[in-house]
Amino acid sequence: MTSDAVTTFYGAVNDGAFWHWPTLVHFFLVALAGGVALLVAYRALGRDRLGWRLPALSVGLVALDMVVLWAESLARWRLTHVYLFLSIRPASAIWWGAWGLAGSAVLGLLLAFGWGPRRLWGALLAVTSTMALLYPGLALAANSARPLWTPLLLAFMPVTGLLLAWGLALLFRQSDLRPAVGVLGLAGALLGGLYLVGLATGGLAAREGLAHLWHEGGTLFVAALAAMLLGPALLRRYPAVAGVLVVSGAVLARTLLVEIGAFMPPLS
Amino acid sequence: MARYAMAIDLSSCVGCAACAVACKLENEVPPGASRLWIRLEESGTFPDLAMQYRPEQCMQCADPPCVGVCPTGASHVNDDGIVLVDAETCIACGACIAACPYGARYFDERGFVGKCTFCEHRLAEGRVPACVETCPTLCRSFGDLDDANSDVSRAIRAAHRVEVLKPEQGTHPKLVYLDAPARFGLTREGVLR
C-alpha cells in the first residue's frame, strides 16, 4: 500500500474564505471612489470651472462604499467603527484607508459647495484620494503568509484602481483622460505580467500559489490582462469600447486576486 | 509579568480531541469555528508508514503579524505576552484573519474576531488553560518561559526535539511541539527559548 501524505482533521479548521462578495464590491467601490476623488483633485488644481456634480459624485461613491462596508460587517450594530478614528495605527493599511476615504468625503463636500480655497482642497484631496487608492494593495501585500498577495500588488492595485475609475469616466466623455487611461492600461497589463513571472520564478510557496491561481482562474486572469492591454490600442477610434475593456479587465483582475489570492499553501 | 508559553509533546498525544472539546465548551466557540483543532497526518509506503496527531491553535507569536494590521488596536499583546482581541473595539474587518499564517482566527457571529486566549480568564484565577487541564495523556505543558521551574520550561528542557510551525514567517511562536514522531511541516528553526 502506498500513499501520499493524507491529512484529516478533528474540529473545524478556519481555512475557508473570510472575505466574501461584499468585500469584492468594496474593493470595486473604493477604487471608484478614490479614482473619481483624484479626478476631482486634478480638476480642482486646474483653472477650468469645477462645478458641483463631479465632487458630489465622489462624495456619493465614498458614502456608497461606506454603506456596503457597514452592511456586510458583523459589527454593524455595535458602532465600533468609530475606533478607526480614535486610534493611531499607522502600521495598519485599513486605518490609512479609513482616513483617506473620510478625508476625501469632507474635501469633496467642501469643493461641491464651493467653500474655502479650491486649490488647497484640491491638493489635500490628491493626498487623501491617493491614500484610498493605495490602501487595498497595502492591505493585501501585508499578508506574507499568502503567496498570491505579493508586494507587487502595492503597485498593481492602485494602477488598476485608477484605471477602473478613469476608464469608466471615458464612457462619460471625459476625453482628456484618454492618454492617462492608455498609460494606466499598459502599466496594469505590464504589472500583471510581472506578477505572474514573479510567482513563476519565486520560491515553493509562490509556485504553489501560481498553480492555485491557474487552476482557479488563470484563464480569466490572462483575459483580464489582455483586456487592459487591448483597451489602449482602441482609445483613439473607439474610446467607449476601450473604456469598457480596461474597466472589465481591471475589475476582473482585482476580483480574482482578492478572492483566489486568499490561498495559503498547505503544510508539507 | 510573565512570558506564557505552551509545549505539546506529540509523542504522547493520542488525538482524542478532549482539548478541542474542552476549549469549545470553555470559550463558547460558535459552530463552524475552532480555537483548537487536531490535524492527523499519514504518509509513507507499507511497511514504512508514519502517522501523527498534532493539535493546532493560535501560536501566541512573540512577533504576531495579526497585531500590526489591526486598524483599531483591538488585536493586542497583553503584559504576559498573550495575543488577545478586545471584542469592544474590534470592527470585524478580518485583516487579522488574513494576516495569521496559522488560520487561528475566525469571525465570531457576535461581531468580533475570536481566537485562543490561553484561557486568560482562567489564568487570572490561578488555573491553567482548559486544554491543558483536560488532556488525559498530559501531553500539554504550560507556564512562564522566564521561570526555569515552570512546567513548560522543564518540558522543553527534557525534550529531545523542540519544533515550531512556519518559522519562515518570522513570528516566533510561543507554542512549541516536542518529540514529534514525524516531521509534517515541523522544524527546529525559529524556536523561542
- State the ipTM, two decimals: 0.91
In angstroms and rounded to an integer, the radius of gyration of the C-alpha atoms of chain B is: 16
Of A7, A8, A18, the CB nearest to B98: A18
pLDDT mean over B133-144: 97
pLDDT tens sequence across B86-113 = 999 999 999 999 999 999 999 998 899 9
* CB–CB contact B111 A74 (8 Å): yes
Of B37, B72, B111, the CB nearest to A83: B72
Chain A hits for B30, Cβ within 8 Å: none
From chain B residues 68-127, the ones with a CB under 8 A of any chain A CB are: 68-74, 88-95, 97-101, 103-112
pLDDT at A84: 87
Chain B hits for A5, Cβ within 8 Å: 41-43, 184
Cell numbers 491543558 label which residue? B132
Q: Between A153-170 and A204-233, two packed helices, what is the crossing angle to 10 degrees?
A: 20
Per-residue cell: A215 = 487552476
How many C-beta atoms surround the C-beta of residue B176 within 10 A?
27
CA angle (A175 as vertex; A171, A177 as ends), nearest 5: 95
pLDDT mean over B49-53: 86
Domains of chain B: 4-184 (3.30.70.20)
pLDDT tens sequence across A86-108 = 899 999 999 999 999 999 999 99
Min Cα distance B18 → chain A (Å) is: 10
The rounded distance, in Å, linking the Cα atoms of B7 and B155 is: 7
Inform me whether the C-beta atom of residue B36 falls under 8 Å from chain A C-beta atoms: yes
List of residues 6+ apart from A99 with CB closer than 8 A: A85, A128, A131
* CB–CB contact A143 B65 (8 Å): yes
